[in-house]
Amino acid sequence: MINQSIPNTFFKNNRLKLFKQSQADMIIVTANGLLQKSADEHLPFGQDSSFWYLTGLNEPDLILVITQNEEFLIVPSHYTYRQSALADLDSELINQTSAINQIFNEKEGWQKVKKDLKKDCKIATLLPAPALMQYYGFYANPARRRLYAKIKRLSNDVIIIDIRQKIATLRMVKQPIEINLIQKALDITIQTLKEVLTVKNLKNYHDTRTIEQDILSGFIRRGGSGHAFDPIIAIGKNATYIHYNKLADSITSGQLMVCDVGSRYMGYNADITRTVVGHSKASHRQQEVYNAVKEIQQETYKLIKAGIKAKDYEHQVETLVGQQLIKLGIIKKLDHQAIKRYYPHACSHSLGIDTHDPADYNYPLPENMVMTVEPGIYIKEEGIGVRLEDVVRVTKNGCQLMTADLPTSLYIS
C-alpha cells in the first residue's frame, strides 16, 4: 500500500490546491469499496483515482475530510471479517504515505464532522455516477453514493458542492513527478513490446493469451505492477472491434494483429498500441491501410500544442482520416457518418492514474497534459483493423513524443 518514492508532499499539495479552489468549508471524499465476486470473495480492488490523487492510499472505504484547519481520515470499523482475516490498518504507514496524521474510527470521525459543521456549511464532494452506467453497461462503485447520502443526512442546511470538474482540471495538468512516473510506465511497456512483438519472437506463439502472459511477465520483471487495463490483443476481423479483449484468438498467417496494452507503474498508466503481422508478410492492401494510419498519426502530431481546443483538433484529425479513407477507396467524400463507420473513436485521451484520465475537454489543452495519439482504421468487410497509439506531452509550441523508442512498423526487429 505504500509508495515509498512518491513523497507524501505530493498528495498533501494536491489536497491544499483542491481545498483552495473548492470554495467549500469542508471537503469529504471516499475511497472505493470492495465489490463482491461470489460468496466471500471480492473482485480485485480498484481505488477511486481521485481519492488516491489526494492521499496515495490504496485501502478501501477510507473517508478523507479536509477543513480550513485540519485534515483527517475516518477508517471503517464495522468490517469484522476484513479486520480479522485480511490485515489491520497500519496508521504509521498511512501517515508516511499520505501525510495525514489524524485517524478516527467511524463513530469518532463522524462526530467530529458534525461538531465542525457550521450553519449553511458548504461541503464539497465527488458526486456519484449513476448506479448503472447505461452506455457502458456496467455498475458504479457504490461508495460515493453511500457517502453522498450520509452527507445529506448530516444536517438539513448543508450545501453540497460537486468538485468533479475541479479535480479533473487539476489532474489534467501533470506535475513533474507524474510525468516521470508515466514515462517509467511507458518505458516498461516499450521494452516489453520490443521483446515480445519482434518478427522472430512472434513465430513462437499460436494464440493471443500466451502473448498476453509474456507481456504481463515483461511488465512485472521490469518493476511494473501489472496491466493498466484489460489488454486488447486481437487478430484479423477481431482487430476491427476497438475494445476486443477476449484474448481468445489463434494466430493465423495473413492476418494483422492489434496489440493495445500498457503497464501500470506506481499508480500511473501507460497505453500503447502497435499493429504487427503474425506469421507471414502483410498483403499489399494491409500495408496500404497501415501506411495510411501511420501518415495520419504523423500529421496529427503537427496539430498539437498548448492552447488548442480538443474539439477542433479532433475535427481536424477526422478530416485527415477521411482523406486517407478516400485514397483507400473506402468512402467517396468527407462525410462524418461515413468516416465514423471506419474510425469510431476519438484520437486522443488524457493519460495518468486512469487510462482515460479525467479532463475538461472544453478547456484549451494545457501545457504538460499527457495524452495519447491513436488514429485507427477498421474495415470490417476486409477483416483489416489497424491502430497506432503513442503518447505525447503537450508543450507550449508543440508536443514531446514520450514513446519515440518503440519503432512504428508492421515488422518490429
Residue placing its CB nearer to Mn ion in the complex, 113 or 190: 190
Say how far apart CA 343 and CA 347 lie, in whole Å. Answer: 9
Q: How far is the C-alpha of 116 from the C-alpha of 104, rounded, in Å? A: 15
Q: Is 48 in the site for Mn ion (CB under 5 A)?
A: no
Neighbours of 71 (CB within 10 A): 20
User: Judged by CB, which is closer to Mn ion: 11, or 378?
Assistant: 378
Closer residue to Mn ion (CB): 19 or 343: 343
Task: Pick the closer one to Mn ion by CB: 178 or 390.
Answer: 390
- Please, what is the minimum distance in Å from the beta carbon of residue 176 to Mn ion? 23
Residue nearest to Mn ion (CB): 271
Give the residue with the Cβ less far from Mn ion, 271 or 354: 271
Contact positions with Mn ion (CB under 5 A) in 233-272:
271
Q: Which DSSP symbol is given to 129?
A: P
Shortest reach from residue 273's CB to Mn ion, in Å: 7
**Binders of Mn ion among 362-381, rule CB under 5 A?**
372
Q: Are 26 and 128 in contact (CB under 8 A)?
A: no
Q: In the complex, what is the shortest distance from the CB of residue 245 to Mn ion, in angstroms, rounded to a whole number?
A: 13
> Phi, psi at residue 215, to the nearest 5°?
-65, -45
- Closer residue to Mn ion, CB minimum distance, 94 or 168: 168
User: Least distance to Mn ion from the beta carbon of 393, Å?
Assistant: 15
User: Which of residues 279 and 356 has its CB atom nearest to Mn ion in the complex?
Assistant: 356
Least distance (Å) between residue 229 CB and Mn ion: 8
Cα–Cα distance measured from residue 214 to residue 211, given in angstroms and rounded to the nearest whole number: 5
Say if CB 290 and CB 275 are below 8 A apart: yes
Which string of x and - marks every residue 186-225 that binds Mn ion (by CB under 5 A)? ----------------------------------------
In the complex, minimum distance from the CB of residue 297 to Mn ion, in angstroms, rounded to a whole number: 13
Contacts (Cβ under 8 Å, ≥6 apart) of 183: 402
Shortest distance in whole angstroms from residue 186 CB to Mn ion: 12
CB of 349 to Mn ion, least distance (A): 6
Rounded to an integer, what distance in angstroms lies between the CA atom of residue 412 and that of residue 390? Answer: 15
Strands 370-373 and 36-38: unpaired
Cα–Cα distance for residue pair 248/232, rounded to 1 Å: 11
**Based on CB atoms, which residue is closest to Mn ion, 271 or 357?**
271
Closest to Mn ion by CB, 170 vs 391, is 391
Burial string for 279-292 (b: 16+ CB within 10 Å, else e) reads eeebeeebebbbeb
Strand, coil or helix: 330: coil
CA–CA distance, 200 with 220 (Å, rounded to integer):
22
Q: How far apart are CA 238 and CA 246, in angstroms?
A: 9
Q: How far is the CB of 271 from Mn ion (least distance, A)?
A: 4
| Rounded-to-integer distance, Cα 80 and Cα 31, Å | 19
Specify the pairing of strand 268-269 against strand 272-277: unpaired
Contacts with Mn ion, residue ranges (CB under 5 A) = 271, 372
